[in-house]
Structure 1
Amino acid sequence: MSTYQHIIVGLDLSEESKQILEKAHFLATAANAKLSIAHIIEPLVFTYGGDIPMDISSVQEQIETQATTDLAKIGQEFGVAPENQYIVIGQPANELQTIAAEHNGDLIVVGSHGRHGLSLLLGSTSNSVLHGTHCDVLAVRVTS
């Protein structure tokens, strides 16, 4: 049985992100695998349907700057090198799949909230990653 070589962790930079990264870090250490972390920022234009009557590019830049700072902080805490930290603008599931494909990721780790019902077993991002990727996906159940 082969072990994982490169684990990509998708983080939303919430408080629960550390729970996800702790488990991924454990797996990476056990498998002697490379660990990368990624945060995907959805464009504000997508979020609000393009119906914003003002220029929001400076707000988008502020979001990117804060995300870069936050990702670097959690990356440093878990020993993830800066070159293995990714901030990307786009649709989370698609971008995580792209990062994994471009960087030879063989496991994507994402968080999943403990909701009820078959359609809520995985969050929409987790579910989309699972159904569109070439590699394994691990959904880590997070608690608030």
Structure 2
Amino acid sequence: MDRATMYDEILYPTDGSAGSDAAVAHAVSLAELADARIHALFVVDELIAGADRWDAVVEREEERGERALDAVAEAGAKRGIDVEQHLRRGRPHEEILDAATAYDADLIVMGTHGRTGIGRFLAAGSVAERVVRHSEPPVLTARARE
């Protein structure tokens, strides 16, 4: 398989954090090498607020998501990469897996916080871990640098 057909559609989920942003350079570089499109995805977690505060919290998260997606689009534009921006609501790992199918992703590139020991135990079932375990396309994870 030649490199141009190996990856045509790359899914890059971001939550705007340092852990997430650690992977953007990988996604952009791979997209450039493969002449692929990036689908940048931000998921507003449906469990982030109680019903009494839902609207305000969701609005704030959507604004944060738009900023995170704009940053990915800007990184792609600097290298001539086509970036489609997607904002979804739901459970992050489920939305990422659904998006991989919907956008025909050949690869998922995502950041991880790199927790170890008790921190990893307390965050058991992290989004990256769930995606890695259940994804059909391969998943490349990049850990945030200290």
Interval containing the TM-score (normalised by the shorter chain): 0.7 to 0.9
8 Å CA contact retained: 1:113, 1:123: no
Other-structure match for 1:131: 133
Structure 2 unaligned spans of 5+:
none
What's the offset of the Cα at 1:19?
2.3
Matched length: 137
Asked whether 1:7 is paired with 2:10, we answer yes
Other-structure match for 1:47: 48
Asked whether 1:36 is paired with 2:45, we answer no
Counterparts in 2 of 1:62 and 1:106: CA distance versus 1, 3 Å: same
What SS is found at the alignment partner of 1:47?
coil
Counterparts in 2 of 1:104 and 1:112: CA distance versus 1, 3 Å: same
What SS is found at the alignment partner of 1:35?
strand
8 Å CA contact retained: 2:13, 2:96: yes
Decide which moves more: 89-98 or 69-78.
Answer: 69-78
Amino acid in structure 2 at the alignment position of 1:23: H
C-alpha distance in 2, partners of 1:115/1:16?
Answer: 10
- TM-score, with structure 1 as normaliser: 0.80
What SS is found at the alignment partner of 1:143?
coil
What's the offset of the Cα at 1:55?
4.3
Structure 1 unaligned spans of 5+:
none
What's the offset of the Cα at 1:116?
2.5
1:27 to 30, 42, 53: 30
C-alpha distance in 1, partners of 2:93/2:43?
Answer: 9
Counterparts in 2 of 1:4 and 1:97: CA distance versus 1, 3 Å: same
Percent of counterpart pairs with the same letter? 26
Other-structure match for 1:57: 55
What SS is found at the alignment partner of 1:59?
helix
8 Å CA contact retained: 1:110, 1:139: yes
- TM-score, with structure 2 as normaliser: 0.79
